[in-house]
Amino acid sequence: MSNSCSREELLPWSWVLPPENPDTQRCFASPLILGTVVVADVLSILFCVVVGSRALVQMFTPWLRLPLQLIGLSHFADKLFTDPDWGGLDTSFRRSWIWTVAMQFTANAVVAKTTIAASGNGPQTPSVGDFMMFLFMRPRMTWVVLCLFVPPGLLYNREYRQKMIPVWSDGLWPGNWAKGVYQHVIAEAAIQLVGGAYYAGKTAHFATTRGYYYANALEGCPFRTEAKMMYAGALVYLIFLPPIIFLAVGLLFPPSFEGNYRQKSDPLSNNYLFSLVGWIGSWLFFAGYVRLAGDLYCPTGPTLASQGGIWVSFSIIAMFGGVAMGWEKLPQFGLVQRGPPTAQHDTTEHDIRDAVENRPPSL
């Protein structure tokens, strides 16, 4: 391509977010925009690691139940965390991930609404829904880091939990983070499929039909590096999306009871590579776009600090609310006794039911 290529020609969509008044308004520099994403991601990781522990959530939920009961929401208050048996493994993440998705959608909707409103709603301004979907391509590493707190095999390998139970202490038992991690993984898969895949697919189709994936494409174009980075990121994102979807499906729809009981690992054991490379793909896409768009991407709604604060705040609410609500512990997933199984004894389903029926009541 000749040197006459422009930023607009290399963007896969027609909408732009230029400054409302170019003469008096300056756009944020690309490093500031990307730096805000990094800071928001780091803060989300730190806070979510803390509020993702059910041991900590258990300390706060009694204070949350009281005001709910006072305003007549006793039924909702009863759904908050009430099981202090640290040896159990909660499985309600198969529903609570919806709460996490809702909070992420809300955060992006707030940022999109305020940004579009401040941009003047010009003819090339995207709709709130369109821009909200674009924001789902923002790199999020929280779920990748959280997976490190739950060892492979925790969900499906009961024998592994029984073996390791004497080693873990109450506060450091990985089951304290299990629900938060699992619901975050499922929610991230849903977000990437519904939100991010739209823009990644649109970008990959745009680059493919124009031959931009060839090595010598865009020769002589001043924006070649930025454009290639965005196109490559979209392709990596799409390639590693199916494994992440399969991971979420494995958490949502486990095998039969016997499979859960005997299986030596769980889908999370394969997550680290897929999630990390997928995150790199989203970073390539987002960084490439911000650098390529330049002043065509000039969000003038909330300040960058406010945008980051919105993302971090809703991430904390999503994690804390999901961990606190809807606890249930199924016998086949939880530990029914403290300590390893007795020697030369193969625990059966009858043993599990008997232990559950005779275990002491929770405090």
**What is the domain count for the chain?**
1
Q: Is 363 within a domain?
A: no
Q: Is 2 within a domain?
A: no
User: Which residues, other chains included, contact 225 with Cβ-Cβ below 8 Å and sequence gap of 6+?
Assistant: none
Place of tokens 């590096």: 225
Determine the average pLDDT of the residues in 199-208.
95
By CB atoms closer than 10 A (0-12, 13-18, 19+), residue 212 is buried
Percentage of the chain modeled with pLDDT above 90: 34
Q: Is 20 within a domain?
A: no
Task: Return the minimum-mean-pLDDT range out of 25-39, 95-109, 172-186, 302-316.
Answer: 172-186
Domain that holds residue 283: 7-12+30-73+82-356
Q: Is 19 within a domain?
A: no
Q: Is 308 within a domain?
A: yes
Q: Is 17 within a domain?
A: no
User: Which residues, other chains included, contact 314 with Cβ-Cβ below 8 Å and sequence gap of 6+?
Assistant: 103, 104, 106, 107, 110
pLDDT in tens, 135-186: 999 999 988 888 887 776 666 666 665 665 555 544 456 667 888 888 898 9
Task: Return the minimum-mean-pLDDT range out of 66-80, 129-143, 182-196, 348-362.
Answer: 348-362
> Whole-angstrom Cα distance, residue 10 to residue 12?
6
Kindly report the pTM of this predicted structure: 0.78
User: How far, CA to CA in Å, does 338 sit from each of 162, 164, 174, 258, 302?
Assistant: 8, 10, 15, 21, 51
Band of the pLDDT at 57, cuts 50, 70, 90?
confident
Q: Is 228 within a domain?
A: yes
